[in-house]
Chains A and B, each alone.
Chain A
Amino acid sequence: MTQSYQLFSKNTRAIIYNLQVNAVQRMLDFDYVCRRDKPSVAAIIDPNAKQGGNHKVFWGTKEIIIPIYSSIAQATKRHPDADVLINFASFRSAYATSVEGINEPTIKTVVIIAEGVPERRARELAALAKARNKVVIGPATVGGILAGGFKIGNTGGTIENIIESKLHRTGSVGFVSKSGGMSNEAYNIIACNTDGLYEGIAIGGDAYPGSTLLDHLLRFEANPEVKMLACLGEVGGTEEYRIVEAIKEKKITKPLVCWVTGTIASKMKGEVQFGHAGAKAGASNETAEAKNQALAEAGVIVPNSFDDYGLKLRETFDKMKAAGQIPERTLPDTPAIPADYNALKAKGQVRKGTNFICTITDDTGDEPLYCGIPMSKVVEHNMPLGELIALLWFKKRLPSWGAQFMELVLRLTADHGPCVSGAHNTIVTARAGKDLMTSVATGILTIGPRFGGAVSGAAKQFSEALRKGQTPLEFVNHMKNTNVNIQGIGHKIKSATNPDIRVTLLKQFARENFPKTPHLDFALEVEKITLTKRNNLILNVDGAIGILFLDLMASGGDLFTEQEKAEIIEFGILDGLFMLGRTIGMVGHYFDQKRLRSGLYRHPMDDVLYDLPEPSELGYDW
C-alpha cells in the first residue's frame, strides 16, 4: 500500500508517451542494476503507430519487448498497474496529451518533459491536476528518480554516472530543484557528502511548474525514509517564500540545506536573460540574495555560496549520523550492464564482421554516392541516364556513345503494344483490380527465354562463336548439329521484306557511333545464311541489342576485362536492359487500364479449344 507522500516505489510502472528509444533503454538499465522484478516501462504510446506494435529493448543481456499503443486510453486500459505517464510529447501537443493523462483514473503522476509549453497551458495543467488530486512534474523537466527504485526518462544520465552517484540504491536525502540540467550534479554532490539520495525531483524551469518545490519538500517531510532535505531554488518567483512559511508553520521540520542560484543577477547592470523562463527577477524580493537571506533567517541551512553546498550537506549529514538519526546502509551487489555496442564502437573498442557487402552505393554520408560519385555531381554535370545505369550496373564509366546506346535501347524497348506477354499479363492483372506493383510484377515475370530474354542468349552464343573463331557458316552448322536454336534470330511477324524498324535504328546508330562492330558484322553474315532458309529468320531486336552490347564492350579498349564481359552475359545483366525499358510500358499499360476503368477480363470461351480425355482413358469407370 503506497502512502500519498510516495509517488514512486520499486514496483512503479510507467507509460511512455512518444517512442523515446534511449530514455526507455536508460530506464530499463537502471531497473536492471536495481534488480527490479519488472521493467519500469509498461507500455509505450506512439501516436503514429495506428496499429500498435512492439518495441525491443535490452533487459540486462537479454532482449524483451514492450507493447506500443497508439493512444493513452488504450495503454491505460491494458496496463492499469501503470500509474505514471512520462510525457515526451512536443511543446505543441504536450498540453492536450497531459490533460488526457491527468483525466485517466489509473494515472496518478504525469511528467511533462517538453520545454516551451505556453505558461497559460502550464497553469491550467497545474490547476487541473490539483482538482483531480494528481501530481504533475514539469513542464520543462528531465523528471526525477527514486534511488534504487524508479527512474523517470533520462534522469541521472548514463548508467555509469548512476552507479558512480549511487542512484541505484537508496539513501537518506530528499532533493528537489528547478533545474533539471543541474540534477545530475546535485545527485553527485549528495553522493559525495552524504549516504546518498532517497529521491530527487526536478520540477522544471518554467514559471508555473505543475508541482512546486514546496509540494515535494512536504512529501519528503512526511516520508519517514527521508532523513534530510536538500533544495536548489532559483532567482525569480516567490516559491521559496512558501518554503519559509512552511518552516515557520512547522510543516517542515527536517534539516533542509537550500541554496537559491542566480545571485549574480542583481549584481549585474542591465538585464541578462538566463536560461530558464522562470529565472527572471522582477521584484526585489525575487532576487536570489533576498530569498537566501529569508531562508537562512527561517532556519534553513544556507551556504555562503554554491561552493559550500556540498560542505553544508556533509556537516548536516554528519551531525545526524552522529546523533544516530541515519540508518546504516550497505552498497548492494550490482549486476553489470553489458557495454552498449554502439558506444564501444564509437570509442574504437569493439569490432564485428559485416553480413553484407555493397560496392555500388553508399548512403552513410551526407549525400548518397553512386559508385563514389556524389549525387550532387550527377545532377550538376547532368550525367546521362545511360552513364548512370552503367555506373550502378557495371561500375564503369561508359564513353558518351556507349551511354547513348544504353538510352537508345531503353527508348526502343519501352513498349511493344498490349499483345506481348508482359503487357498482356499486366493488363489482365490490372483489370482484376490488383495494384500497380502486383500488375507490373506479373508482366516482368514473363520476361525470360521466350520473351525478351534472347538478349543475353544471343550475346552468349555470338560471343562464343567469335571467341572460338568460327566462321558464320561454321556457327550456323554447329548450332544446327547440336540442335540449338540461334538466339536473336527470327521473328514471328517481321521478315527480310518487312524489316523491324528497331533493328534498323540500332544498326544505324552502331555504324555511326561505335568505333568497331565485329559482332554485328558477324551476325549480319549469319543472318544472310539463315535468310536463305526462311524469310523471317532475321536478326531480331533482342539479338541486335545483345550483339551490339558485345560490340560496345569490345570497343571500349580495356574498359571491360574478359572475365567481366563473361559475367555480364552470364549474370543476365543484359536482360536487365530489356526489363528496365519495358517496365516503362508496363507501368503505362497499368495506368491506361485504370484510367479506362476496365472491368475484369474473362477470356472468351470460343477462343479456347476444349479437348478433354474420356474418364475411361484414364482408367476411371465412374
Chain B
Amino acid sequence: MAIRGIREYDGKKLMAQVLDRFSSKPLGMNPNYALVTPETDLEKLPVSEPWLNTTKLVVKPDMLFGKRGKNNLLKLNATWAEAAAWIKAKREETVTVSGVQGRLTEFLIEPFTPHPEDKEYYVAMRSFRDEDIVYFSLKGGIYVEENWDQVKEIHIPTMKDNALVDAKSVSFEGQLPVEGAEKALVEDFVTALYRFFADQGFAYLEINPFTLAEGKVVPLDLVAKIDDTASFEHLDTWGTTLTFPAGFGHHLSPDEAKVKAMDAKTGASLKLTVLNPDGRIWPMVAGGGASVIFADTVADLGYIDELGMYGEYSGDPNEEFTYQYACVILDLMTRKSHPKGKALLIGGGIANFTDVAATFKGIIRAISQYADKLREGNVKIFVRRGGPNYKAGLEQMRSLGGKLNLPIEVYGPETHMTNIVPMAIAALQ
C-alpha cells in the first residue's frame, strides 16, 4: 500500500474519461487509446478499436519507464499495419533500459498528432507534506531540463486562512506564462488537470509534453503515480481493474510467484524476493519492520552477498500458510549444499498479537519435513522471538532440535533481536 506508478495508458484513459468533470467547459480530450498486452490478438484489435485503421499512430512500450525516444522505442506516424509489425518485432527482442534487461510486453497505441516542436508545453504536479506544487513551462519536451529556470512553480498549500483548501476552487487563470489565443485553453486545461490530480488520488502527474491541435489539448507523454490506498474513494473512476504493474524487467521466479499467490489468498502478509539462490544466510522473519532490520544487519555486517532472500511473514498467517511459506524457503536453501553449511534465521521482534507458539507450529512442520535435507546441507538454525505465548513456542523449537538431531539455537527477548545474525555469520566461517 503506497504510491505506485500506473501505466501511461491508464493515466490517459482516466484523464479522457474524468477530466471534463473538473472543467467549466468541455475539454474534449481524445478518448482513443489502446493497450497491447501479451494476451492481445493484434489481428482482432482493430475490430474493437476501429480508429486504429483511420488515423496515423504512435506506438511505444508502456512499462513504467521513460526516455523511450532516446532508447529508440518509439514508433511515430505509423499506419496500423506498420504499428502492428513494429510491436510484433519488439515483442521478440530483449532490451536493456537503464541497465535493466527485459522483454517488452505492454505497448500503448494512440493517434499521432503532428505539431511544431516549439508548441510543446510542460506541466507536472507533485504532493508534499504541506502543499502541492504545479510546475509549468512553455518549453516542454526534451528541453525542459535545460530550461528549468523558465519553469513556473505554483504552490497550493493544504491549509489557507485556517481552512483546508478545496482543490475544486483552485484556478490558475492569469497565473500561467502563456499569452494570446492559447491562453484560455491552456489555463482551463491546467486548472482542470490540477483538480483532477487532487481529486483522483494522484501523488505525481507529469505531462511532458502536451501540445495543442485543433483547439484541443493533446497529451503526448504522461507519467503518473497514484496512492493506491485511495482506491476505495474512486471505485467509480478507477474501477476495480486499475493495475499497478511491477517495474520493467521485474519477473517473479517460480518461488516468488508461489509466495505471491499465497499472499493474495490470506489476509496476512507473506513476502519473498530471492536475492541470491546460492546465498548461505536465509532470514525467515516475522513482521515488516523486523524483517528489514534483519536484512540490514546481514548487510551492515558485510555479508550481503550471502543473503539468500528478503521476505517477511506478518499479520498472523494461519498454520497452513506459515507451513507453506517455510517450505518454500527451506526448499530454496537446500537445493544446493555448501561445504561450510548454511544458516536459517527464524527471527522476529516481540509480537503484539501473534501467538508465537501457534505460528511456530507451521514452521516446525516444515522443518520436520525437511529435516533430512537440512542435515545433509549442514544447515544451522537460529531462532529469536518474543510475544504472546513465546515461552511455549521457544520450548517447542528447542525440543525440535533434539528430536530431529538438528542444530537449533533458541533465544528470547533477553537476547538483542539481531544477535542471531552475528552468531549465524560466525557459524558459517
Contact = CB atoms under 8 A, between A and B. Distances in A.
A184 B350 contact: yes
B416 A307 contact: yes
Interface string A468-479: 000000000000
A274 B295 CA distance: 11
B421 A307 contact: yes
A307 B290 CA distance: 12
A69 to B, nearest CB: 26
A181 B387 contact: no
Nearest to A179: B289
Interface residues of B, number: 63
A231 B162 CA distance: 32
Interface string B283-303: 000011111110111111100
Nearest to A260: B296
Interface residues of A, number: 62
Interface stretch (B15-23, B25-33, B53-61, B226-234): B226-234
Contact of B416 (A116, A126, A189, A304): A189
Contacts of A276: 2, 288-289
A116 B267 CA distance: 14
A116 B1 contact: yes
A49 interface: no
A182 B290 contact: yes
B201 A120 contact: yes
A347 B357 CA distance: 10
A221 to B, nearest CB: 22
Interface string A91-119: 11000000000000000000000011111
A157 B288 CA distance: 17
Interface string B1-44: 11100000000000000000000000000000000000000000
Nearest to B275: A268
Contacts of A264: 292, 295-296, 298-299, 304, 307, 310
B418 interface: yes
A16 to B, nearest CB: 17
A68 interface: no
Interface in B341-364: 349-353
Contacts of B295: 264
B229 A277 contact: yes
B234 to A, nearest CB: 9
A296 to B, nearest CB: 14
A11 interface: no
A79 interface: no
Interface in B364-395: 386-389, 392
A271 interface: yes
A161 interface: yes
Contacts of A124: 158, 164
Interface string B241-269: 00000010110000000000000000001
Contacts of B301: 305, 307
A318 B45 CA distance: 73
Contacts of A130: 159
A270 B100 CA distance: 8
A185 B164 contact: no
A208 B129 contact: yes
A119 B127 contact: yes
A157 B275 CA distance: 33
B132 to A, nearest CB: 9
A207 interface: yes
Contacts of A205: 288-289
Given A92-B232, A126-B129, A307-B301, A157 B289 contact: no
A389 interface: no
Candidate in A119, A131, A279, A309 with the most chain B CB atoms within 10 angstroms: A119
B220 interface: no
Contacts of B329: none
B229 A154 contact: no
Nearest to B353: A154
A280 B292 CA distance: 12
Contacts of A157: 350-353, 387-388
A451 to B, nearest CB: 55
Contacts of B203: 119
Contacts of B269: 275
A288 B296 contact: yes
A127 B300 CA distance: 37
A123 B129 contact: yes
Interface string B393-427: 00000000000000000000110111101100000
B387 A304 contact: no
A118 B229 contact: yes
A117 B314 CA distance: 20
A270 B249 contact: yes
B273 interface: yes
A280 B416 contact: no
A280 B2 contact: yes
Contacts of B146: none
A306 B293 contact: yes
A118 B291 contact: no
B304 A127 contact: no
A181 B416 contact: no
A141 B57 CA distance: 49
17 contacts: A118-B233, A120-B227, A121-B230, A123-B129, A127-B164, A128-B164, A158-B387, A161-B413, A181-B352, A184-B351, A188-B350, A264-B292, A268-B304, A268-B310, A271-B250, A306-B417, A309-B416
Given A275-B314, A288-B296, 16 more contacts: A118-B233, A119-B227, A120-B227, A123-B158, A128-B159, A156-B352, A181-B314, A184-B351, A188-B386, A192-B416, A207-B3, A263-B299, A267-B299, A268-B304, A304-B300, A310-B416
